Amino acid sequence: MSNVLLRDRVSLDGDWNVIVDPYDMGYVGILGDRTNRGFFRDFRPRHPGDRVEYDFDASPTLTVPGDWNTQDERLFYYEGTVWYRRKINVAPGWFEDGRVFLYVGAANHTSRVFLDGEELAIHVGGFSPFAVELTGRLDPGQHSLVIQVDNRREPDRIPAMRCDWWNFGGLTRAVELVSVPKIFLRHAWVTMSPSGAIIGGVEIDGADAPVELSIPACGIDTTVNPGERFEFAASPERWSPGAPVLHDVQWSCEDDQLIDEVGFRTVRTEGEKILVNDEVTFLRGISLHAEATHGGRRSQGADDASELYDHVERLGANFTRLAHYQHDEHMLREADRRGVLAWCEMPVYWSIAFDEPHVLENAIEQLDELILRDRSRASVIFWSIANETPNTPERTAFLSQLASRARQLDDTRLVSAALLTPPTAATDQHVDDPLGAAIDTVAVNQYLGWYYGERSDIATTTWSCPHGKPIIFTEFGAGAKAGRHGRPDEIWTEEFQAAVYEAQLVMINANRSDLGRGPVAGISPWILKDFRAPVRVLPGIQDGYNRKGLLSEEGDEKLAFNVLREFYQ
Ligand code: GCU
């Protein structure tokens, strides 16, 4: 279900009792078979002799939403299962008429949902929302809601065994009860096609019924058929970067009603250029992880989104790459309100099991969840299906299927993937990856002047690709410890990082497609802020942080922040 933020909700956020269960003994017996007396039963001793070897009431708590790693230092490196339990007290009259769903904004990585001891659902994917129907199960009185969350890395998971970010575990986004009428709008989306038409679709749940759609700004007040794509000619005032015009959109079906705020803009490519509202637009971007501006914790909710976009705006960026997984819905609604374009990505990152059919199945699930939630967001112009994956036939076949699935769900936006360019020091970089044929823009992560190449060669480097499509530098940059100063050739100093940016921006300026100089249509340097990463172990410098941020983990500006801001201004 989508548009949940537009609905009446009962929040289940707050302190939940938890049991840390590294051996999964709350779900399986000593021989690994599923036990019927697991923690999900939330048993209490029934008599003095009754042996129950766990007790949620007496167990510690963790705050939801939130990662467990930064709430309890004993869980900082923990990868395994944690059981969350919350009592729900249902008052008489609640949920009597309609239907009720449990909505989890995100739970990393795999989670099972139990109500009153019964297993109701499993969800695989750490960054996307899911809903579980509880209709008829929440009679007045107290109920036990248990969610088993396991953030283990596994070779057949997405992402798989290695990533350059912290594997934050837990119920990392809001958990809510959502009540809807018997017949409700499960999905309802509207946006603008590249040709400027108002297009969209609606899916209802419960029974067949006509859906009323009203968009006053487009002069649209009509009935649309569920399951069918609709298309109308209209010319509302456009949403554009820096001018975020949003219009009321009202959906109603039987007793259900949704009122959304939607911007209408077109996006397309023309050769090596990207056009927004038919205007050649250079993407002045920045990459972000979903990490809060303070405390190195998983970000979530409206306040974190607002703080992160405050920095984006200070930088003068018109584009954000939300890496490498689905970010909180609040981020996209904030981008809509602030007029900043967005790149949304699913966590097919580095190597995954591209030859496993069940992995492709889950990839499609995660892609669907990425697109179905944010299809009405004007800010979103890219669906990215992967980051830095090996150039093998299995991978290209796997990702080509994802690209066509993305277009099936939404052919109004650009489909892309961040490619790993072979680290050559050459000053004539040619990006020749077969995946380039399946995507609309060739996104390149290049680290000239950091992982490879001489800084002195950067400025004169030229770029090309055989597909005649726009190239976007979805990553470039260098590491620096905030407050560490020295000569520009001294690594980890702010001066070193700033010098890499200066050289890169000279090169980028010389290759810009909006200025007719080359194939580069945009950039999203790596990265807005230092972020936690277990692979970054250099004492006194990294200490568990990737230091390529333009801001420190506490928001202190490094010199390179101003180098980029001046370029954007
Ligand atoms: C890669 C990767 C990022 C990583 C970055 C780095 O390109 O996509 O996730 O953090 O490089 O090495 O800093």
Instruction: Concatenate the DSSP letters of all residues of 122-186 into one string.
Output: EEE-SSS-EEEE-TTS--SEEEEEEEEEE----TTSSS-S--SS----B--S-EEEEEE-SSEEE
Ligand 1 and 445: CB distance under 6 A: yes
Rounded to the nearest 10 degrees, the angle between the axes of helix 301-315 and helix 559-568 is 70
Ligand 1 pocket test, candidate residues 322, 475, 500, 537, most atoms within 8 A of CB? 475
Average pLDDT over residues 240-250: 98
Residue with tokens 């970000």: 299
Instruction: Locate the ligand 1 atom nearest the alpha carbon of residue 163 and give its number.
Output: 9
Give the list of residues 6+ apart from residue 400 with CB closer than 8 angstroms, or none: 435, 438
Which amino acid residue places its CA nearest to atom 6 of ligand 1? 164
DSSP, collapsed to helix, strand or coil, labels residue 424 as coil
Which amino acid residue places its CA nearest to atom 4 of ligand 1? 164
Distance (angstroms) between ligand 1 centre and the Cα of 506 equals 22
- Cβ contact 415:437 at 8 Å: no
Nearest C-alpha neighbor of 564 from the set 491, 506, 482: 506
Instruction: Locate the ligand 1 atom nearest the alpha carbon of residue 548 and give its number.
Output: 13
Ligand 1 pocket test, candidate residues 472, 473, 542, 546, most atoms within 8 A of CB? 546
Confidence band of 207 (pLDDT split at 50, 70, 90): confident
Ligand 1 and 320: CB distance under 6 A: no
Distance (angstroms) between ligand 1 centre and the Cα of 523 equals 15
Distances (CA, A) of 15 to 56, 68, 413, 429: 12, 12, 40, 53
Mean pLDDT of the chain: 97
Distance (angstroms) between ligand 1 centre and the Cα of 420 equals 10
Query: What's residue 96's pLDDT?
Result: 80
Backbone torsions φ then ψ of 506, nearest 5 degrees: -65, -45
DSSP state string for 491-541: TBSHHHHHHHHHHHHHHHHTTBTTTTSSSEEEE--S-SB-EE-TT---TTT
Which amino acid residue places its CA nearest to atom 3 of ligand 1? 164
What share of the chain has pLDDT > 90, as a percent?
96
Confidence band of 95 (pLDDT split at 50, 70, 90): confident
Which amino acid residue places its CA nearest to atom 12 of ligand 1? 164
Nearest C-alpha neighbor of 264 from the set 379, 407, 348, 341: 379
- Cβ contact 324:524 at 8 Å: no
Distance (angstroms) between ligand 1 centre and the Cα of 525 equals 11
Residue with tokens 């904004």: 105
Ligand 1 and 475: CB distance under 6 A: yes
Ligand 1 and 548: CB distance under 6 A: yes
Indicate the length of the chain as a whole number: 569
Residue with tokens 């003994």: 25
Query: What's residue 427's pLDDT?
Result: 86
Distance (angstroms) between ligand 1 centre and the Cα of 349 equals 10
Q: What angle do CA 85, 89, 94 make, to 5 degrees?
A: 130
Distance (angstroms) between ligand 1 centre and the Cα of 163 equals 8
- The string of pLDDT tens digits covering residues 307-321 is 999 999 999 999 999
DSSP 8-state class, residue 33: S
Distance (angstroms) between ligand 1 centre and the Cα of 371 equals 24
Average pLDDT over residues 23-39: 95
Query: What's residue 177's pLDDT?
Result: 97
Check residues 72 and 428 and name the one with the higher pLDDT: 72
CA distance 461 to 458: 5
- Cβ contact 471:415 at 8 Å: no
Instruction: Locate the ligand 1 atom nearest the alpha carbon of residue 420 and give its number.
Output: 7
Distance (angstroms) between ligand 1 centre and the Cα of 550 equals 14
DSSP 8-state class, residue 407: H
Average pLDDT over residues 509-515: 98
Ligand 1 pocket test, candidate residues 165, 289, 526, most atoms within 8 A of CB? 526
- Cβ contact 335:341 at 8 Å: yes
- The string of pLDDT tens digits covering residues 345-368 is 999 999 999 999 999 999 999 999
Q: Helices (H) and strands (E) in the chain — how many of each?
A: 7, 32
What share of the chain has pLDDT > 70, as a percent?
99
Ligand 1 and 291: CB distance under 6 A: no
CA distance 63 to 54: 20
Query: What's residue 495's pLDDT?
Result: 98
Average pLDDT over residues 450-456: 94
Confidence band of 424 (pLDDT split at 50, 70, 90): low
Give the list of residues 6+ apart from residue 540 with CB closer than 8 angstroms, or none: 481
Query: What's residue 425's pLDDT?
Result: 62
Cβ neighbour number for residue 203 with a 10 Å cutoff: 15
Instruction: Locate the ligand 1 atom nearest the alpha carbon of residue 324 and give its number.
Output: 9
Cβ neighbour number for residue 37 with a 10 Å cutoff: 14
Distances (CA, A) of 458 to 28, 377, 422, 524: 56, 36, 16, 17
Has residue 182 got a pLDDT over 90?
yes
Instruction: Locate the ligand 1 atom nearest the alpha carbon of residue 475 and give its number.
Output: 7
Distance (angstroms) between ligand 1 centre and the Cα of 427 equals 22
Give the list of residues 6+ apart from residue 383 with CB closer than 8 angstroms, or none: 344, 367, 370, 371, 406, 410, 413, 414, 415, 416
- What's the distance, CA 288 to chain centroid? 10
DSSP 8-state class, residue 228: S
For the record, the structure tokens of 507 come out as 């090169």
- Cβ contact 564:525 at 8 Å: yes
Instruction: Locate the ligand 1 atom nearest the alpha carbon of residue 531 and give its number.
Output: 10
CA distance 240 to 243: 5
CA distance 113 to 557: 42
